[in-house]
Amino acid sequence: MERSLRRLRSLLSVRSVAGEVFLLQLVIVVLLVAAALVALVGNARRDSMSDAREKTLAAAQTFANAPGIVTALNGPDPTGVLQPSAEAARKAAHVDAIIVYGLDGVTVTHSDPRQIGKYVIGPYAQAADGRAFTRTFKGSLGLSVVSAVPVRDTDGSVAAVVAVPVRVETVQRSVNQQLPVLLGGAGVALVVAAGGSGLVSHLLRRRTHGLGPAEMTRMYEHHDAVLHTVREGVLITGGNGRLLLANDEARRLLDLPTDAERRHVTDLGLEEDLAGLLASDRPATDEVHLAADRLLAVNKRLTTPRGPVGSVVTLRDTTELRALSGRAEVARQRLRLLYDAGLRIGTTLDVRRTAEELAEVAVPLFAANVTVELLEQVLHGEGSRGPNTEMRRAAVAGPAADHLLHPVSVRMAGDGPVLVKDLSTWADWRDQDPERARRILDRGIHSLLAVPLRSRGAMLGMAEFWRSTDSPPFEDEDVTFAEELATRAALCIDNARRYTREHTMAVALQHSLLPRALPDQVALDVAYRYLPAQHGVGGDWFDVIPLSGARVALVVGDVVGHGLHAAATMGRLRTAVLNFAGLDMPPEEILDRMDELVAQIDADESAGAGGHWLTGATCQYAVYDPTTGKLDIATAGHPGPALVHPDGSVAFPPVPVSPLLGLGTRLPFESAELTVPEGSRLVLYTDGLIEERDRDLDIGLEALREALTGPGRSPEATCAAVIEAMLPDRPRDDVALLVAGTRRFDAAQIAEWHVPRDPAEVRRVRTACADRLAEWGLERIAFTAELVLSELITNAIRYGGEPITARLLRTVANSGSAAGTLICEVSDGSSTSPRLCRAKATDEGGRGLFLVAQFAERWGTRHTRDGKVIWTELSLSHSTRGAEELGEILIGSWDVQAL
């Protein structure tokens, strides 16, 4: 079946002569059959219409001359008499209707009773004049063939008209009944004709082998032209080994005689192996044979079974092609090496590593050994300055030992590359170090190509390519490739140098903005770690800020982004936090002020940069009070703290998290109050400690928990353990870690009194203060402390509100010595802050705060949720002023001129 389909497809194909002939015959037969069919249908329709005219005319004449029709027309009910007769006559005559109407045009009989009594429509005037006619027009029954005949009265006048129509649709139906017979006959004729055409075409296809006219024309007209102009030699040999045909190229390549055809291939004077191949029946593919001074690529194929016994041989001259292919292969290797260099050089922003990548790319495909020398300042991230040509070896690759290859100085290289095909002939190089030069030559290194590394017009160093005995010496064409390779590497080295310089500057700036040392305070034992990122410093910072009342603020934050901008912004934010902390505001209020500041910085920089510049920062601010063990903490987009309990267990206390600073959400910041047991370790950190690209945040927190777990560790040991467990050698992001061990004041260090709002109570509290100072062994500052405390209590009674509380705190330095501070605090229910001013000569008061400021090391006011606290700090390590100095201070506060 499949074979028959293939034959049919080949027969119908217009690409062959047989197919074209078959299709042409088939088209002619179809046209003839179609013409005959159209003629038969036309004749049938014409005969049907003629038969309809004759039938309608005969029926009309017969009914018009029927006996009694005139009497019926003149009777009282012509329709009742004639309608049955008309219907019977219609059925007998096989017409569509017999219509009788008077001269007034009113229908008397009709096949459609609804038309009786209506005026007839149609060209019946001729019949009314007494002349019969037959026409085709559209009436009440549609398009019809109508014959009209007049009905004559006894006197010969026209009494009525009889019309007999036959619809054209009825005539067409009779024609359609004949169509199946006509179409069947046409189909049989078409099949018979197509079969005959197919048989003729099949015979023709066998004669022409299925070729088309164009193919046959090309085959016969261009056979000789194609054969003798092709650039390959073509030989056709017979089964007996005789040469049947040879084109011009084959005659030229083999130097054949003019009478070579019909001669045996062994008699043509060819090389023995080539003649043996041509005479055998062995096929060959790209076999190389020598013919005189040419190298020929020979291909041989047998013509059987597609043709007579023999073979076809093609010959191609590859003498020049082999030389060109060697150079092309070298060019391909160089292009591949440059492509690899683009991928492998500059993968890091490290100057030395980039130089090593250059050396590794060139060995061994371009050179046996490679050394890269860079200027001293380039290695440190600085640009080349002045005439300094001191270079240091940055990279070496190849089997030769590093110490054997000494560099080519910039002075020797000048401004361009240095090509030395034979090192033994270069005296300047040998004179640099004769002994080393001798060892290099003894190891077989014989050729050198040195190329300067330049980028953006600046000299960076030299790349030196060395070849040994197993490689040919460098040629002039190698210089271009080496310069291209050096140019790509120099750009990457310069980018790394610029990055090194900026990174060094940013790290220096960031370290200068971070705390140089932790301040003295007695509430916490603090240790910290700061690790800059591997690529580009960030904006992480931390701070420990002593506050009034022995409280301490712990701060960690992170500015979005990396680089100098992030470091500079971090410095601005750290300074702002220090200033805000000095106002003793609650943590949530400080974050609110910081949010406004970051938004303002973002707006200023966006206006300056001419576009959108999102700064953004996270911050965590916590205040620890050693007298109560309370921790007041607020967070803005920052990871929450970790708390290591004295037993070594780790918890992550829930802290309300507010949005990042600077987003402009206008949402209030919230704080949380935690109670921290004494001996706990409070851990604050930035996100670089727990977040990694390949590590989930929960996994990072769990790893931090494991690193922190364990009792008895100091904050310093905790920092070391966390950094070792959590971070790689070169982190991708900045990391700031702050660990604070909590302390609590002993009850013996605190003295507190509730003071009624009565001036007489000042004396009682002052006496109690003196007693407590005597218990503490601080009699030497008793006068100063009593004076300061009494002044503060007096101000609270006169200007403040209840409740009023006085408190003394004795702090001891971490070293355990007696030195420390005495903190005096008086709190009341009023939020009005006192203000230091110089009293006038006529003022009765206003000198109390002046005395407090003179005797205290520091003093200030902090607001609380219930009022305010006025505090002072008296140093226990310095001599204090006595009563004899009080008079001098008071006298100095008066205006002598006014007195």
Rounded distance between C-alpha atoms, residue 638 and residue 617, angstroms: 9
**11 bridge partner residues:** none
Pairing status of strand 552-562 against strand 617-625: antiparallel
- Name residue, tokens 């016969």: 220
HSE (side-chain half, CA atoms, 13 Å) at 768:
16
SS3 per-residue string spanning 648-709: CCEECCCCCEECCECCCCCCCCCEEEEECCCCCEEEEECHHHCCECCECHHHHHHHHHHHHC
| Dihedral (Cα; 848, 854, 858, 860), 10-degree rounding | 20
Instruction: Find the range with the poorest average confidence among 54-58, 641-645, 797-801.
Output: 54-58
Cis peptide before 677 (omega within 30 of 0): no
- Torsion angle of alpha carbons 469, 472, 478, 484, nearest 10°? -40
HSE on the CB side for 57, CA within 13 Å? 12
324 φ, ψ (degrees, to nearest 5) = -70, -35
CA angle 400-404-408, nearest 5°? 110
Higher pLDDT, 317 or 9: 317
Please answer whether residues 118 and 127 qualify as being in contact, where contact means their C-beta atoms are separated by less than 8 angstroms: no
Q: Give residue 408's pLDDT.
A: 65
CATH 3.30.565.10, applies to 748-893: yes
Cα separation, 540 vs 685, whole angstroms: 9
Asked if residues 151 and 73 have their Cβ atoms less than 8 Å apart, the reply is yes
Banded model confidence at residue 625, pLDDT cuts 50, 70, 90: very high
User: What's residue 182's pLDDT?
Assistant: 63
- Under 8 Å between Cβ of 625 and 556: no
Percentage of the chain modeled with pLDDT above 70: 77
pLDDT at 207: 60
- Cα atoms in the 13 Å half-sphere on the side-chain side of 313: 34
Whether residue 415 contacts residue 409, with contact meaning beta carbons closer than 8 Å, is answered with no
- Average pLDDT over every residue of 833-862: 69
CA dist 500 and 460 (Å) reads 14
The confidence score (pLDDT) of residue 554 equals 95
- Tens of pLDDT, residue by residue over 10-33, are 555 555 666 667 677 777 777 777
Alpha-carbon distance of 855 to 850, in angstroms, equals 9
Q: Which pair of structure tokens corresponds to residue 671?
A: 């704080």
In angstroms, the Cα distances linking 411 to 219, 301, 375, 390, 489 are 73, 66, 13, 10, 21
Residue 719 corresponds to which amino acid? C
Residues 6 or more apart whose CB falls under 8 angstroms from that of 537 comprise 503, 506, 507, 509, 510, 562, 563, 566, 567, 734
Sorted by sequence, the CB contacts under 8 Å of residue 334 that are 6+ apart come out as: 366, 481
Q: Which residue has the higher pLDDT, 769 or 163?
A: 769
Architecture of domain 222-317: 2-Layer Sandwich (3.30)
Spatial contact of 788 and 765, defined as CB atoms under 8 Å apart: no
Q: Cα–Cα distance between 66 and 60 in angstroms, integer? A: 10
Q: Tokens at residue 194, please? A: 């197509």
Query: Can you point out the beta strands (E) in 773-856?
Result: 804-812, 820-828
The predicted-structure confidence for 715-759, as pLDDT tens digits, reads as follows 999 999 998 888 876 677 788 899 999 999 888 889 888 988 888
Locate the domains of the chain by residue range: 1-221, 222-317, 326-504, 517-742, 748-893
- Tell me which residue of 59, 109, 103 sits closest to 82, measured CA to CA: 109
Pairing of strands 657-658, 630-636: parallel
Whole-number Å distance between alpha carbons of 315 and 256: 13
Q: Which of 686, 682, 685, 699 is nearest to 644 (CA)?
A: 682
pLDDT of residue 891: 46
Helix (H) or strand (E) holding 548: none
Nearest Cα neighbor of 79 from 100, 64, 59 is: 100
Q: What are 133-182's pLDDT values in tens digits?
A: 777 767 666 677 787 888 887 777 777 888 888 776 666 666 566 667 66
Closest of 587, 593, 614, 588 to residue 603, by C-alpha: 614
Closest CA to 337 of 486, 450, 463: 486
Residue 317 CB neighbour total at 10 angstroms? 17
Q: Are 372 and 358 in contact (CB under 8 A)?
A: yes
Across residues 821-838, what is the average pLDDT?
81
Angle between helices 782-799 and 848-855 (to 10 degrees): 150
In 3D space, the residue among 276, 348, 694 whose CA is nearest the CA of residue 536 turns out to be 348
CA 717/CA 702 separation, integer angstroms:
19
Domain spanning 1-221 has what CATH number? 3.30.450.20
User: Which fold is adopted by the domain 517-742?
Assistant: Phosphatase 2c; domain 1 (3.60.40)
Q: Which of 263-272, 789-798, 840-849 has the lowest mean pLDDT?
A: 840-849
For every residue of 188-201, DSSP letters joined together read: HHHHHHHHHHHHHH
pLDDT bracket for residue 678 (50, 70, 90): very high
What is residue 816's predicted lDDT score, i.e. its pLDDT?
A: 47
pLDDT tens digit sequence for 536-549: 667 888 999 999 88
Backbone angles phi, psi at 144, to 5 degrees: -140, 160
Burial class from Cβ neighbours inside 10 Å (0-12, 13-18, 19+) for residue 644 reads buried
**Distance set, CA 152 to CA 255, 283, 665 (Å):** 116, 109, 112
| Those residues with Cβ within 8 angstroms of residue 596's Cβ, 6 or more apart along the chain or in another chain | none
Beta bridge mates, 824: 808, 872
Position 558 pLDDT exceeds 70: yes
Span 203-249, pLDDT tens digits: 666 666 556 666 666 666 666 666 666 778 888 888 788 888 888 88
Query: Which ranges in 123-178 belong to alpha helices (H)?
Result: 125-128, 168-176
What string of DSSP letters covers 473-494?
PP-HHHHHHHHHHHHHHHHHHH
How does 656-682 read in b/e, with b if 16+ C-beta sit within 10 Å?
Answer: ebbbbbbbeeeeebebbebebeeebbb
Q: Give Cα 11 to chain centroid, integer Å.
A: 57
Q: Per residue in 272-321, pLDDT tens?
A: 888 888 888 888 888 888 777 777 888 888 877 766 778 888 888 776 66
Q: Please say whether the beta carbons of 262 and 239 come within 8 A.
A: no
Over residues 96-106, mean pLDDT: 79
d(CA 789, CA 855): 11
Mean pLDDT of the chain: 79
Report whether 424 contacts 437 (CB < 8 A). no
Please write the tens of the pLDDT for every residue from 43-73. 766 766 777 777 777 777 787 788 878 777 7
pLDDT value of position 734: 83
Single pTM value for the model: 0.55
**β-pair partners for 270:** none
What's the start-to-end Cα distance of the chain, in Å?
139
Q: What is the DSSP string of 217-244?
A: HHHHHSHHHHHHH-SSEEEEEETTSBEE
Are the folds of 222-317 and 326-504 the same? yes
CA distances from 798 to 774, 792, 801, 843, 870 (A): 29, 10, 8, 16, 14
Between CA 807 and CA 753 the distance in angstroms is: 6
In angstroms, the CA 737 to CA 725 distance is: 13
Calculate mean pLDDT across residues 123-132.
71
Which tokens belong to 468? 């040994």
* Overall fold of domain 326-504: Beta-Lactamase (3.30.450)
Cα–Cα distance measured from residue 136 to residue 143, given in angstroms and rounded to the nearest whole number: 7
Task: Reply yes or no on whether the pLDDT at 602 is more than 50.
Answer: yes
pLDDT of 562 reads 75
Q: Which residue has the tokens 């727990």?
A: 690
| Comparison of pLDDT for 274 and 39, the residue scoring more | 274
Would you state the pLDDT for residue 12?
A: 52
Over range 103-132, report the average pLDDT. 75
CA distance 488 to 508: 30
Place of tokens 């159209």: 38
Q: What is the pLDDT of residue 894?
A: 46
Enclosing H/E stretch for 94 = none
